[in-house]
Structure 1
Amino acid sequence: MNLEKLYQIFCQSAGVCTDTRKLEPEQIFFALSGPNFNGNKFAAKALEEGALAVVIDQSEYQDASSDKYFLVPDCLKALQALATHHRRALGLPILSLTGSNGKTTTKELIAAVLSQKFNLKATAGNFNNHIGVPLTLLSFTAEHNFGIVEMGANHQGEIAELSAIAEPDYGFITNFGKAHLEGFGGIEGVVKGKSELYRNIAARKKTVFVNGDDPKQMELTENIDRVVIGAAMLGYQLTLKATNPRVIFSLNELPIESHLIGQHNAKNIRAAIGIGLHFGLSPQQIKTGIESYNPENNRSQWINKARNKILLDAYNANPSSMEATLESFKALSSEAPKTVILGDMFELGPTAAAEHQAIADLAHKLGFDRVFLVGANFYGVEARQGQIKCSEYEDLVVALQQQNTAGHLLLIKGSRGMALERILDIL
């Protein structure tokens, strides 16, 4: 593959695309393939619809009479190589972050803060995998002077691969939690897999941000250039004032009032504040950034309906995030009855039954007025008093129609595959 020639064309293009349904004129189409699709079949169509060039990896789809075809051994690897080449050509500082919980929220908070000083670009949504990371890098332009790249993984080796593509100057891991236990092979595998970011940073002598109250993070970064995030940073004193109903910090007595709730989000906000201080932002700039962030996309999102006020946190779930959210929801000051709707947690492997039972037990212990447990895994638990099990979504609809939850404060949380936000239509 002639990477330099491809990059020259990229610099003249309107960007890259991997889906002809979303193709814009003058973009480069990468013919990615998977178990159920073959992008090579759409290369000619992409050119017909205005693509500047197409990158394919199957010669039978090449038109020898056209100079707009780039035949490569592997389209995905070509996309990744182009992204790394572009990242090096721009030379802008990049912060990469990963973690079991809170990485997307933390990314958005950091972006909100740093955008007060930098013209930055951050990962859109959760484009954080082997395709999303290179697409993010290729979206950076010469106008940007800072980049934020989120990295997701469900098995060991992925973060190492993504770090090699992005070559970050700074790294941050939100936490090590009980997420994707099946793919990682247990919590030890989670720690090993996520800390691949540390190893990449260390090998290139770059810098990591570390939660000072996490002993494992402190241990793993002893020999790495690090910035410890804690109560005292760079001469500033950071004090947590409240997590109920919203997280409020004081930075050298300047109040910072967020739109998030809970101790778990307090840690995410603290990270954004600490990183902002490291990059020289003033307390007022940090305050402006934090207070400008309103959660959306089913993440810690408050929704007011005619009958209920709802905390929608249904983008994803694992035992660690479920526990943190339940405890934060219970701690909210409210005279209204509290009802929780919990959906299955995926990718837990052999621990699935025990982890779902533990969450059901916790919900009972916390004393919510009503608890709806939805999905095959939750249907298998031993339900406690006041808990209603629903094997599938349709059963939940019926159960909610039979129960009067008007005026209740509601929490909705479950894994993405449960799509529990659908229930909003009947609440």
Structure 2
Amino acid sequence: MNLNIVNIETVLNSKWNRNPTGKSIDNISIDSRSLQNNDKTLFFALVGTNHDAHIYLKDLIGKGVRNFVVTHIPDGLESKANFLVVKNTLEALQQIAAHYRSLFSFPIIGVTGSNGKTIVKEWLNFLLSPDYNIIRSPKSYNSQVGVPLSVLAINEKHNLGIFEAGISTVSEMDKLEKIIQPTIGILTNIGSAHDEGFKNLEEKVKEKMLLFKDSEVVIFQKNSDVEKFILPKTKTISWSFTDTTAAVFVSKKEHTHEHTGIEYTYKGNISTLKIPFVDDASVENVITCLSVLLHLEYDAKTIQSRIELLYPIEMRLKVKKGINNCSLIDDSYSSDFQSLKIALDFLESQKQHQKKTVVLSDIFQSGLSNEVLYSKVAELIVSNNISRFIGIGETISTLKTKLPNAIFFKDTNEFLLHLEQLNFENETILIKGARSFQFEEIVAAFAEKTHETVLEINLNAISHNFNFFKSKIKATTKMMAMVKAFGYGSGGFEIAKLLEHHKVDYLGVAFADEGISLKTAGIKLPIMVLNPENTSFPAIIQHQLEPEIYSLKGLNAFLKIAEQKKLKDFPIHIKLDTGMHRLGFEANTIDDLIATLKGNSTVKVQSILSHLATSDDLQHKDFVQYQINLFEKLSSQLMNELEITPIRHILNTSGISNFPQAQYDMVRLGIGLYGVSNDSEEQKYLENVGTLKSIISQIRTIQTGESVGYGRRFMANRESKIATIPIGYADGIARSWGNGVGFVTIKNKKAPILGSVCMDMLMVDVTEIECKEGDSVVIFGESPTVTYMAEQLKTIPYEILTSISQRVKRVFYRE
């Protein structure tokens, strides 16, 4: 990308606040936290419901950024940088991207749909890359922000583009169409994703089809609901399993365990194709790719030779535990310049050690010469403060002169031979390589060896849920996020690091050791300890944690230590009991509390809080209001008599939604952050965070009258196929979930649990499911949900989540 900052004012119909130099821009940024921001950056200060990037401009100027697109110039900054003032910074970003796209005339493929967009994009990139220099959306950058950032990465060497477009409601696609301007349109599967943003399916299809209003051709699975929204002038290539009038008619489909064979007809020619997948979704996505290749006039032999090499796409950046106290970021199937920038930002947001290492392969399809490409890579490595760089491949060795302390290997095997000599320990390692380098072998060598049951944590979902609840509070209201109980079972540090990245105001933990662990790992956010024991006060002070004080005994004990250590204004949090009757100062102790605190300078009352007992049950709203009124009375008394203005907070997750009038100065977000709501309507807007997965260890067939498991609690009444899964009650699965009460999901089908759940295993019925040993099994996630499990077991989702043993490996990922 190469934009002149003088020309930008013409595109945006605005004027710089002062005369900028004629410098070009080679980096567009919307993230103030990125280490890639520099004097060549044009920063767009985006404004959302609960975020405003203008507050970070002073810091960015301090880091060297000089050019900004803003809605207003913050006080005191007028003479310190170049500002272009616009009405809406997001629309300005989109305008710049649309203008930039118009400077190029090569074919652009635009992909939309409910499911399969990223897979189709990545497979088309693989299939077409031998013949084109392709620019494509990195990861799943398909939003109102992601699309312009993707398009702005085009350069003069590219001759084909593939961009995703994702929408969640009406009036969005028209904006993306102006940016992508696709010449070839692809509609993938239309499913139920984001249904809540549309009145009905017709409105959803109509909105998505706006992407193709000026396309030369549209490729889709034949469907009358789609065809009525295609303009008569537009050429179509439809495909179908059932309609012989489709341009690509698939007449046969045969499965083996590893492949699907099809016979298809196109322009009167009958051909066969062997597809290296058996699941329906993958087969449909391959046929969509096939239709594109046919449109581009590829012959049957070339099509077969390339499609048989297709592979499952890993669309996620994963964080895993590694050997020697290392943490791994697994991006081992991708190596292009745009996704490298994203991965480095992710590395910074998830680093668990000060030492940051990057293992990177040759980069393909950059559209740049090796000299320019690796100069840019070197700049990224330096700006991101990478401690150790390891390059693998023939061309990446160009960096030897630019990164003199880097280490290089000709291929993956040579690197693995030297692995032990490189002494990896106590570092966060980004592993990023093109598929041909087989970096999965490096990940396997680095990864901590654990059993095959994992709890996958979707960091995108955490971010989504955080922003959902943040949108419910006033911009001035602070947010405390609860990461107690090992992050409600999801993992403490990784989530705390993400929340720190989102600039949450406070973290809450139950006990001191949880907070100490986070501080030791490098978390700098203020952390409140909700249930501190008196014996933990010295450690709390040492690690700069902030204790909740709920009794005179505890207060006096803390004050004694504070005086011994000659502390001044050490932050404490006063807990009031307004009706929960668990912990806290009651009304009859407030005078003694005031007397104890008055004139004491060793501590500072940082906040006053209470806890609602029934915020999730509106049948008890009168009691909640009683608690709020009592909190107002007691906290006001404290503030008036002590002459203090602390943060006040009483709302938990349910309280945020049900009692917004009581936000005070801060709210505490707990289970909602992890995708669980007590309100079925609200639940629709939250995203699933944790998916507990395992595999099939063994499959056996039993006959009528044979039993399964301890106590012979299941007796077969037919010949049955039984699968054994390596997870049991030692991993946190309740024994009461067995004996036909619960189920797991295999190949998107329910497999009932048979007999008793064992300590390390459970058995399920897969008689009606086509599966094999080694196949993936979902214990909970989208189906069954933890809410459903809790209902069946007559408990609450908290118990399900926090019961998952820490012997179950947590894998954190970002889409």
Using structure 1 for the length normalisation, give the TM-score: 0.69
CA 1:132–1:169 in 2, change beyond 3 Å: closer, same or farther? Answer: same
CA 1:91–1:128 in 2, change beyond 3 Å: closer, same or farther? Answer: same
State the alpha-carbon separation in 2 of the partners of residues 36 and 149 from structure 1: 28
Query: In 2, are the aligned partners of 1:373 and 1:388 still within 8 Å (CA)?
Result: no
CA 1:338–1:10 in 2, change beyond 3 Å: closer, same or farther? Answer: farther
Which of 1 and 2 has higher RCO (CA within 8 Å, sep 6+)?
A: 1
More helix by share: 1
For each residue in 1:102-123, what CA deviation from the matched residue of structure 2 results, as whole angstroms up to 9, or x when unmatched?
2221221122222232111111
CA 1:228–1:198 in 2, change beyond 3 Å: closer, same or farther? Answer: same
State the alpha-carbon separation in 1 of the partners of residues 69 and 299 from structure 2: 46
CA 1:382–1:125 in 2, change beyond 3 Å: closer, same or farther? Answer: closer
> Which consecutive unaligned segments of at least 5 residues does structure 1 have?
320-329, 342-356, 403-419
State the alpha-carbon separation in 2 of the partners of residues 67 and 421 from structure 1: 48
Q: Which amino acid aligns with 2:156?
A: A
The aligned counterpart of 1:16 is: 28
Query: In 2, are the aligned partners of 1:56 and 1:71 still within 8 Å (CA)?
Result: yes
The aligned counterpart of 2:91 is: 77
CA 1:33–1:51 in 2, change beyond 3 Å: closer, same or farther? Answer: same
For each residue in 1:193-251, what CA deviation from the matched residue of structure 2 results, as whole angstroms up to 9, or x when unmatched?
2432424523x363211213x34334543734212235799899886443633445578
Q: Secondary structure at the match of 1:108?
A: helix
CA 1:390–1:272 in 2, change beyond 3 Å: closer, same or farther? Answer: farther
Deviation (angstroms), 1:261: 4.1
Could you tell me which of 216, 230, 243 is aligned with 1:221?
230
CA 1:308–1:101 in 2, change beyond 3 Å: closer, same or farther? Answer: same
The aligned counterpart of 2:255 is: 242
Query: In 2, are the aligned partners of 1:111 and 1:120 still within 8 Å (CA)?
Result: yes
Could you tell me which of 2, 14, 20 is aligned with 2:9?
2
Deviation (angstroms), 1:92: 2.6
State the alpha-carbon separation in 2 of the partners of residues 205 and 133 from structure 1: 17
**Fraction of identical pairs, as percent:** 21
Query: In 2, are the aligned partners of 1:363 and 1:371 still within 8 Å (CA)?
Result: no
> Which consecutive unaligned segments of at least 5 residues does structure 2 have?
1-7, 15-19, 265-269, 318-332, 334-439, 462-683, 685-694, 701-721, 728-742, 753-763, 768-776
CA 1:313–1:215 in 2, change beyond 3 Å: closer, same or farther? Answer: farther
Could you tell me which of 775, 779, 788 is aligned with 1:372?
779
Could you tell me which of 203, 218, 231 is aligned with 1:192?
203
Q: Which amino acid aligns with 2:779?
A: F
CA 1:266–1:28 in 2, change beyond 3 Å: closer, same or farther? Answer: same
Q: Which amino acid aligns with 1:172?
A: I
Using structure 2 for the length normalisation, give the TM-score: 0.39
Could you tell me which of 750, 771, 777 is aligned with 1:363?
750
RMSD: 4.9
Identify the range of structure 1 (138-147 vs 1-10) with the bigger mean alpha-carbon deviation: 1-10
The question of 1:183 aligning with 2:197 is answered yes
State the alpha-carbon separation in 1 of the partners of residues 312 and 22 from structure 2: 35
Could you tell me which of 294, 313, 320 is aligned with 1:277?
294
For each residue in 1:153-202, what CA deviation from the matched residue of structure 2 results, as whole angstroms up to 9, or x when unmatched?
222222233223322222222122122222224xx2x4422432424523
CA 1:166–1:90 in 2, change beyond 3 Å: closer, same or farther? Answer: same
CA 1:339–1:103 in 2, change beyond 3 Å: closer, same or farther? Answer: farther
Query: In 1, are the aligned partners of 2:173 and 2:210 still within 8 Å (CA)?
Result: no
Q: Secondary structure at the match of 1:161?
A: helix
For each residue in 1:138-160, what CA deviation from the matched residue of structure 2 results, as whole angstroms up to 9, or x when unmatched?
11111111111111122222223
Query: In 2, are the aligned partners of 1:20 and 1:46 still within 8 Å (CA)?
Result: yes
Identify the range of structure 1 (282-291 vs 140-149) with the bigger mean alpha-carbon deviation: 282-291
Deviation (angstroms), 1:400: 7.5
Could you tell me which of 274, 285, 291 is aligned with 2:309?
291
State the alpha-carbon separation in 1 of the partners of residues 450 and 58 from structure 2: 51
State the alpha-carbon separation in 1 of the partners of residues 215 and 783 from structure 2: 47
CA 1:270–1:375 in 2, change beyond 3 Å: closer, same or farther? Answer: closer
Query: In 1, are the aligned partners of 2:251 and 2:263 still within 8 Å (CA)?
Result: yes
State the alpha-carbon separation in 2 of the partners of residues 282 and 167 from structure 1: 28
The aligned counterpart of 2:394 is: none
Q: Which amino acid aligns with 2:219?
A: F
The aligned counterpart of 1:146 is: 160
Q: Secondary structure at the match of 2:161?
A: strand
The aligned counterpart of 2:723 is: 337
Query: In 2, are the aligned partners of 1:340 and 1:372 still within 8 Å (CA)?
Result: no
